[in-house]
Amino acid sequence: MMDNTVTWFEVATDDPEGAQHFYGGLFGWTFDRGDDGPLDYRMIGYPGGEQPAGGLFNTKGEFPNHAIFHVQVADVEEACAKSESLGGKVITKVIDDGAGTDFAYIHDVSGSVFGVFHRR
Instruction: List the alpha helices (DSSP H) in the chain.
Output: 16-27, 76-85
Strands in 113-119's sheet, in edge-to-edge order, are 30-32, 41-45, 54-58, 5-13, 66-72, 113-119, 101-107, 89-94
Whole-number pLDDT of residue 36:
63
**Rounded distance between C-alpha atoms, residue 92 and residue 55, angstroms:** 18
**Rounded distance between C-alpha atoms, residue 114 and residue 106, angstroms:** 6
pLDDT values of the chain reduced to their tens digit, one per residue, 120 residues: 689 988 899 999 999 999 999 999 988 999 998 776 678 899 999 888 888 889 999 999 998 888 999 999 999 999 999 999 999 999 998 888 888 899 999 999 888 899 999 998
Q: How far apart are the first and last CA of the chain?
A: 13
Domains of the chain: 1-68 (3.10.180.10), 73-120 (3.10.180.10)
